[in-house]
Amino acid sequence: MQKQEIIEINQKLGKEFKTDSGLGGNKSNLDYALSLDNPYEIAKEILRGHPFIDGNKRTAFMFYVMLTSNKSYEEILKDFYDIFLSLSK
C-alpha cells in the first residue's frame, strides 16, 4: 500500500466520523512506518507516531485489516462500524 492510499483512508474515515483528517506535524513518521515490511509493525508505528491530525487509531486499524484480510475499505467499514464508533470517542 502506498502513502497516498493511507492518506486517503484517513480522509475517508475523517468524513465518515466527521473529524479532521490529513497529515499533521509528524509527517515523517508515516514515511518511517511505510519503510517497514510487516503490516503489524506499520500499524503499530502509525499508532505510536501519530502522523495524522486525527484518526490515527482508526486509520491504523483499517490499514491493518485491509492488508491482512484482502477486504475492501467498504467491506471492513460495514463489518466493523460499531468498533470504529467506539474508537472515535
Q: Report the domain count for the chain.
A: 1
Q: What's the pLDDT score for residue 79?
A: 83
- pLDDT above 80: residue 89: no
CB neighbours of 69 closer than 8 A, spacing ≥ 6? 76
| pLDDT (mean) for 13-39 | 94
CB neighbours of 17 closer than 8 A, spacing ≥ 6? 55, 58, 84, 85, 88
Domain limits for position 81: 3-87
Q: Give the integer Cα–Cα distance in Å for 83 and 26.
A: 26
Q: What's the pLDDT score for residue 84?
A: 64
Residue-wise pLDDT tens digits, 34-87: 999 999 999 999 999 999 999 999 999 999 999 999 899 999 888 877 776 777
Q: What is the largest CA-CA distance in the chain?
A: 31
pTM of this prediction? 0.86
